Structure 1
Amino acid sequence: MPRLILLNKPYDVLCQFTDEEGRRTLKNYVAVQGVYPAGRLDRDSEGLVVLTDDGSLTARIADPKHKLPKTYWAQVEGEVTEEALAALRAGVDLKDGPTLPAEAARMEEPQNLWPRDPPVRFRLSVPTSWISLTLREGRNRQVRRMTAAVGFPTLRLVRWRVGDWTLDGLSPGEWRDVPLPASPRPPVRPPAGKPRPLAGRNRRPADRGRKH
């Protein structure tokens, strides 16, 4: 039976199961054989990682052509402006080309968010703010590059949602099994050689032309 696991990846953990340099990996938290992350999450980012041993499901989750939305909470340097949010919603130009339009909104600091270990380094003279950013594509360090492009560098980044799955109820390092999503079914077609009856042609040939 295929497995689907949701993990809250802590900060400073590689999104893989092995590392020759002895750094922390997913193996430090998920003692399950044969599962792999469906999509990456940077070492300096936290939050939701989806793992599965089903290759077709991995493709459905990770492949941008399926446009599975991913929602991030970003703590940025400075008081984010409506102009910056509008630019994120329209798409911004990066070195590898323009991004797709994103859903972007300012949010209050999440009350259910755990303290980061180690804490974020702040500049006392510069305020910070939080934004929610939903993307339907996946590029290397995309959220950080997008917020920097509009003038608000990211200080802390948490992936909260992938598709319909969220971090709700998971502390850093915790994971749980969830039911597999239903696979889309192909449309039902009538059997070959048995055309559907047409309206108005359901009378017997002997009845045609008979007067009543």
Structure 2
Amino acid sequence: MEVRKTSHRHFVIYKPYGYLSQFSSNDSKQQSKNFLGKLEDFPENIMAIGRLDEKSEGLLLLTTDGKMSDFVNSQKVDKEYYALVDGDITEEAIEKLEGGVEIGFNGKKYKTKPCKVFKLNGEPDLPKRAKKIRDARHGPTTWISVTLNEGKFRQVRKMTSAVGFPTLRLVRVRVGNMHIKSMQVGEVIEVESYNV
């Protein structure tokens, strides 16, 4: 779906680790948190299309167009993540992830939909994370790509834990045809349209 430029405004950002995918909060417990409004003076009525949890990073689309947000969130659009997992992940675990695994969601069991998962050849070219990740001295790690078109809360983290390889770092690199490319942490780019 391509949304042409109208009175709506659209942004592509690299959400940093430690930021919430929102612009403010009335919750007094969250006042010390980092919000997206620290990155840019965004227009009123701006919303994140989908979310990344506080410990996840990467590509986040922002828009003032509710229809665009609904379309991307309607499970028709692939989202690709690079996950650094704890351990040397097995082919068996990858096959389980691809076929769907049982995770907890809203206090109930939920089986994830089939998705695409594969090992990356080495470490992807991503910006360094502000908070240090444990290194190989504490055991092997593996980078994998996970592409899915659903987005339950903390889904990728729950999926990798369910097969015995907890996620140490999670970066969303693609939403539909929009790719993070060489963006840097905290970078904000205004675009005329999304072609997802």
Q: Hey, which of these two has a bigger chunk of strand by percent?
A: 2
Distance 1:125 1:41, change over 3 A: closer
Using the size of structure 2 for normalisation, the TM-score is: 0.87
**In structure 1, what is the Cα distance between the partners aligned to 2:83 and 2:48?**
22
Report if aligned partners of 2:48, 2:63 keep a CA contact under 8 Å in 1.
Answer: yes
1:94 maps to which of 95, 103, 121: 103
Report if aligned partners of 2:56, 2:169 keep a CA contact under 8 Å in 1.
Answer: yes
Is 1:73 the counterpart of 2:82 in the alignment?
yes
2:93 corresponds to which residue? 84
- 1:1-212 counterparts in 2 under 5 A? 1-19=7-25, 20=28, 21-34=31-44, 35-64=46-75, 67-95=76-104, 96-122=109-135, 124-181=137-194
Using the size of structure 1 for normalisation, the TM-score is: 0.81
| Structure 1 outlier segments of 4+, above 3 Å | none
Structure 2 counterpart of 1:6, which letter?
A: V
Distance 1:120 1:5, change over 3 A: same
Distance 1:119 1:135, change over 3 A: same
> Which structure exhibits the higher relative contact order, with contacts defined as CA atoms closer than 8 Å and separated by 6 or more residues?
2
Larger Rg: 1
Aligned residues: 181
Distance 1:115 1:170, change over 3 A: same
* Structure 2 alignment gaps of length 5 or more: 1-6
Cα displacement (A) at 1:112: 2.0
Cα displacement (A) at 1:181: 4.1
The percent of aligned pairs where both chains have the same amino acid is 39
* Structure 1 alignment gaps of length 5 or more: 184-212
**Secondary structure at 1:146's aligned position in 2?**
helix
**In structure 2, what is the Cα distance between the partners aligned to 1:30 and 1:114?**
20
Question: What does the per-residue CA deviation read over 1:46-86, in whole Å, with 9 as the maximum and x for residues that have no partner?
Answer: 0011000011111011222xx21000000000001111111
